[in-house]
Amino acid sequence: MSNLNNQIALVTGAGRGIGQAIASKLAGAGADIAAVDLKVEFCAETCEKVRALGRRAWAYGADVSKAAAVDETVEKVLADCGRVDILVNNAGITKDTLLMRMSEADWDAVLSINLKGTFLFTKALTRSFVKQRSGRIINIASVIGLVGNAGQCNYAASKAGVIGLTKSVARELASRGITCNAIAPGFIETSMTAVLGDDVRQKLLAQIPLGRLGSPDDVANAALFLASDQAAYITGQVLTVDGGMVM
């Protein structure tokens, strides 16, 4: 059993989906949770779940793509919680369309939230990780960042960027006892994939050797492992959680 007792985990995009599952999973292993979402009220359900598990929860509203909001949030979290041991950069969006139709705004929004948001939170917490000579950074990428996808140029570029960022941060901070890894989920049942039509869903299922879409809990289990002592010697890696779709 993983033991995260007395550790503090900051999870972005914690209000629902994979972020909520990760917050609950880490809390189940003993961590207290600083939940961040676009609006503070979006964190209410997650905080309730964390408290029901007997752990402390704090809620923050911040747009991860805005440097001032991120810095202010990290300052508040450190004041409220005393420290952060685990950072999970999970907030993300899609704005899918074919390249020829993709607007500059669609490109900028996805890159700003998925990639720049990960950079901003990582940068804002690095000083305190270095000072405490420990820290676990877990970035939620995507298999699309590994293999690309028609209609997702912006998303694929953002997630490939997250993987490059992960490896660079891992190299830069390893000597300070800080690890940085990415999880690349495949197709996971959340509101992000609920919009897919039945035909697309069937085509996807045909490509998944394990024969089902993933659950947020499947991704949360990988996050728990990377946050745990069992993963102390793992850094700069991309852990694919996709039912075998990309191998």
Q: How far is the CB of 55 from ligand NAP (least distance, A)?
A: 19
Q: Which of 42, 60, 119, 155 is catalytic?
A: 155
**Which residue's entry shows tokens 């049942």?**
189
Residues 39-68 that bind ligand NAP (CB under 6 A): 42, 63-65
The three-point CA angle 211-213-218 to 5° equals: 110
| The 3-state secondary structure of the chain, one letter per residue | CCCCCCCEEEEECCCCHHHHHHHHHHHHCCCEEEEEECCHHHHHHHHHHHHHCCCCEEEEECCCCCHHHHHHHHHHHHHHHCCCCEEEECCCCCCCCCHHHCCHHHHHHHHHHHHHHHHHHHHHHHHHHHHHCCEEEEEECCCHHHHCCCCCHHHHHHHHHHHHHHHHHHHHHHHHCEEEEEEEECCECCHHHHCCCHHHHHHHHHCCCCCCCECHHHHHHHHHHHHCHHHCCCCCCEEEECCCCCC
Of the residues 2, 7, 11, 13, which one makes contact with ligand NAP according to CB under 6 A = 13
Size of the site for ligand NAP (CB under 6 A): 27
Q: Which is nearer to ligand NAP, 1 or 194 (CB)?
A: 194
Of the residues 4, 10, 19, 182, which one makes contact with ligand NAP according to CB under 6 A = 19
- Specify the stretch interacting with ligand NAP by CB under 6 A; choose among 2-10, 86-94, 99-107, 229-237: 86-94
155 in active site: yes
Which residues are within 8 A (CB) of 194 and not within 5 positions of it... i.e. 6 or more apart? none
Of the residues 93, 146, 204, 238, which one makes contact with ligand NAP according to CB under 6 A = 93
- Specify the stretch interacting with ligand NAP by CB under 6 A; choose among 26-34, 35-43, 168-176, 223-231: 35-43
Contact status: 187 vs ligand NAP (CB under 6 A): yes
- Specify the stretch interacting with ligand NAP by CB under 6 A; choose among 14-22, 80-88, 95-103, 228-236: 14-22
Q: Checking DSSP bridges between strand 57-61 and strand 86-89, what pairing results, if any?
A: unpaired
Residues 130-149 that bind ligand NAP (CB under 6 A): 140, 142
- Specify the stretch interacting with ligand NAP by CB under 6 A; choose among 2-10, 24-32, 165-173, 184-192: 184-192
Burial of 212 (0-12, 13-18, 19+ CB in 10 A): exposed
Residues 202-231 that bind ligand NAP (CB under 6 A): none
Q: How far is the CB of 235 from ligand NAP (least distance, A)?
A: 20
Q: Which is nearer to ligand NAP, 163 or 178 (CB)?
A: 163
Using CB under 6 A, list all residues that contact ligand NAP: 12-13, 15-19, 37-38, 42, 63-65, 90-93, 113, 140, 142, 185, 187-188, 190-193
Q: Which residues are catalytic?
A: 155
